[in-house]
Structure 1
Amino acid sequence: MKRFRVYYHPAHGHEAVKQGFSWPALFFGVFWALFKRLWNVAAILFAIQLILHMLDLQVQHSSSLPMALLILAGSLTVWLLPAFKGNCWREKALQRKGYKLLSELDAPSAREAIMRCDQDYHGQMLV
């Protein structure tokens, strides 16, 4: 079972956010951020990746090992950071949009977490 936080917005309904590591964010990065409507995160990740790519092209011509290691470290960070922090970023974005936390519960999927929350609380916001 996975741990989810279920949020509610009167106009937009329910959203469930898995707690912890995000495998989709690890593999899809910028595309995951776009899919989750984290526009600022997607723009920042894309800009950093673009800068690192341009730096990498420069390093290939100069053969600078310290700079190559720095670019590698930056690339790994940009790749791993969304996986570790993506769900937190998503929760903060939902809260900024007016979503309120209803519940935190264990469920096999986000859909199931929302259904269980609805059954437990009959659609009423508790928090």
Structure 2
Amino acid sequence: MANKDELRISQGRLEDAWRRTLPIVMNKTDQSQVMSDGADDKALRIHIKTAGHQMYAFDFKVTYEDSREIRVELVDVERDGKTIDERPDTVQQLIEDYTRHLHECAQQLHDLTKA
């Protein structure tokens, strides 16, 4: 039986909406890139660069579980172009902040993504 609350928007429209909305909910000085996930039409790849001298970059996979709920997975954390351990408190705090921003973006797009 099909899920009645599944995502019913094209990946291209979803990607464009996230590209427009994510900078509004993030810190103004951070940068983000939104890309379609070629292997999953209900997922996006999000790349976020922190502002300032820390030079952190985070890669997330955002998957729509249904028209409202997303699952956020951390894929990679880099500092100055090199993969680093994500366990230090400073990095964990940034991951939590960006995860919250990703959920805020999905919530702002709810009117577009709801069935």
> Relative contact order: is structure 1 or structure 2 higher (C-alpha 8 Å, sep ≥ 6)?
1
Shared topology, TM-score over 0.5? no
TM-score (norm 1): 0.31
Larger Rg: 1
Higher helix share: 1
Q: Which structure has more strand as a fraction of its residues?
A: 2
